[in-house]
């Protein structure tokens, strides 16, 4: 096994904590770079959203780029992001009360949940196919069966080879090796509808997370890239010429994702200076340390 990336957390000049990182890059179906264990099986979490949007692009070719982008997003409930969710719901058509993602925000509302765009897309998919949308988030619903088939096909795996669980927003989550996540992203644009998903993400990178999102940062730093993060320290990305990347912070810490992604992307020839160091601030807003790869 290749050496994992180590992300160190320094308070002053003293290392306070370290995070181990596993990452893999695939090009033309072959592993071209690896740190740690590229065969590590973990949940893809929200990094699966661009793949989960593929059936929607095929069912509703009339969708605008903003509507496709928000279906791939883990948004921050900014006004422009909520507007995109409402536009997608109107396309379905579906109401905010039909979202089964739970409520977030102040006051809590389902549309403010960071996964409401994905859920709006799932409602639209149900309407397009004439499926009863009630319980669309449950494993046996036709919607989630379609998601399982899509992720398995993108990763070139059989459906029975994917372990599943329940994601934070209530839909099915998929576990697979990092190398297969990287392969799925490497192939995304060549999959049916993938070119439209990628184009929407590139056109609206700030919708995918927000202005300071790590996935947004790499899309803005390098032309032709798409990226999508997931909970518990997951990040997947795709670059030019069929390059796919998947990364996992072993302990699930989100704070290590940016420096780890920057370190691995730099090995591939795509530095992202903005992500190389993350400041540590105290409650007074003073910078008292930093997080960076060793």
Sequence-separated (6 or more) residues with CB below 8 Å from residue 83: none
For CA atoms 135, 171, 85, 238, give the dihedral sign: negative
What is the model's pTM?
Answer: 0.96
Total Cβ atoms within 10 A of residue 168: 17
Q: Quick one: pLDDT at residue 245?
A: 98
Q: Could you give the count of Cα atoms lying within 13 Å of 157 in the half-sphere of its Cβ? A: 21
Buried b (16+ CB within 10 A) or exposed e, 262-287: bbbbeebebebeebbebebeeeeeee
- Left, alpha or beta for 98 (phi > 0: left; psi -120 to 50: alpha)? alpha
Hey, which CATH number is domain 5-63+149-293, 1.10.10, 3.40.710, 3.20.14, 3.30.1380? 3.40.710
Residue 42's DSSP bridge partners are 176
Residue numbers of the chain with a pLDDT score lower than 50: none
Q: Quick one: pLDDT at residue 1?
A: 79
Q: Quick one: pLDDT at residue 64?
A: 98
Q: Could you give the count of Cα atoms lying within 13 Å of 201 in the half-sphere of its Cβ? A: 37
Question: Which tokens is 95 given?
Answer: 């109401």
- 167 — phi, psi (to 5°)? -75, 170
- 48 — phi, psi (to 5°)? -80, -10
């Amino acid at each position: 096994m290749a050496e994992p990336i180590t992300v160190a957390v320094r308070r002053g000049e003293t290392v306070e904590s370290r995070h181990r990182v596993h990452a893999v890059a695939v090009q033309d179906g072959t592993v071209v770079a690896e740190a740690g264990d590229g065969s590590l099986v973990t949940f893809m979490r929200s990094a699966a959203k661009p793949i989960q949007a593929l059936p929607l692009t095929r069912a509703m070719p009339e969708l605008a780029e903003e509507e496709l982008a928000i279906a791939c997003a883990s948004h921050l409930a900014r006004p422009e992001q909520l507007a995109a969710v409402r536009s997608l719901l109107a396309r379905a058509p579906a109401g905010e009360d039909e979202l089964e993602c739970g409520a977030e925000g102040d006051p809590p509302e389902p549309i403010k949940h960071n996964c409401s765009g994905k859920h709006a897309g799932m409602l639209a998919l149900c309407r397009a196919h004439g499926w009863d949308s009630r319980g669309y988030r449950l494993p046996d619903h036709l919607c989630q069966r379609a998601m399982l088939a899509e992720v398995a096909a993108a990763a070139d795996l059989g459906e029975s080879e994917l372990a599943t669980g329940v994601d934070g927003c209530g839909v099915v989550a998929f576990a697979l090796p990092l190398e297969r996540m990287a392969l799925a992203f490497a192939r995304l644009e060549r999959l049916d509808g993938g070119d439209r998903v990628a184009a929407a993400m590139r056109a609206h990178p700030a919708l995918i997370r927000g202005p300071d999102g790590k996935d947004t940062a790499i899309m803005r730093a390098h032309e032709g890239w798409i990226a999508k993060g997931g909970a518990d320290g997951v990040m997947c990305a795709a670059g030019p010429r069929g390059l796919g990347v998947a990364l996992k912070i072993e302990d699930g810490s989100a704070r290590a994702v940016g420096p780890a992604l920057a370190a691995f992307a730099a090995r591939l020839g795509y530095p992202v200076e903005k992500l190389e160091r993350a400041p540590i601030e105290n409650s007074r807003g003073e910078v008292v340390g930093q997080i960076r790869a060793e």
